[in-house]
Amino acid sequence: MMSGTLVLVRHGQSEWNLKNWFTGWKDPDLSEQGVKEAHAAGRRLKAKGYVFDVCFTSVLTRAQHTLKIMLEELGQTGLPETRDQALNERDYGELTGLNKDDARKKWGEEQVLIWRRSYDVPPPGGESLKDTLARALPYYMIHIQPLVLSGKRVLVSAHGNSLRALIMAIEGLTPEQILKRELETGVPVCYKIGADSRPLSVEILSA
């Protein structure tokens, strides 16, 4: 076991983020702003000297597009890339495709807040954060963590809630702590991971 590098990046702003819609497993692409955020993320990683061995992403276009742009900026296209729905965003069920203000009008502000900010209360037909963790966390432990612990440099482009699962595992956070963690679009979170799987350091490459 040796230390490795793990960089997590939430995709750039999507067309549905821009419209304030619940997105979940729907597949809009990046907005113009999201494309800019992905380019900026790649440039910041390059400026810090990051080089990667392998990358992971979800099966959704916005995460894949963000990864493609970052790798182009890094001059590292052609890296081994794994796509898996375990890294997809949380499924918002009946909320999917609704403007968040319209959802509040339909179900009430308090109920929508519970669905968005509780750990284990899913929206109708969708997933809670706990459900998202239940698929994303095992995937991380089986497929990503062993590479990092072998000394590999790993880049993951995914989504706000699936990345919370990884951060929860890496930093040993409680459900209450992870609910408070906000991840900005297109901002790399860079870890050096020790042999005990805990972070030796973390650096957030904000604009």
Q: Which residues are catalytic?
A: 11, 89
The DSSP bridge pattern shows strands 54-57 and 4-10 to be unpaired
The arrangement of strands across the sheet holding 54-57 comes to: 81-83, 54-57, 153-158, 4-10, 188-193, 199-204
* Residue 54, strand partner residues: 154
DSSP letter at 120? S
Which residue intervals of 48-153 are DSSP H helices? Answer: 61-74, 100-107, 109-117, 129-139, 145-149
- What is the C-alpha separation between 163 and 58, in angstroms, rounded? 11
Backbone φ and ψ for 151, nearest 5 degrees, come out as 100, 5
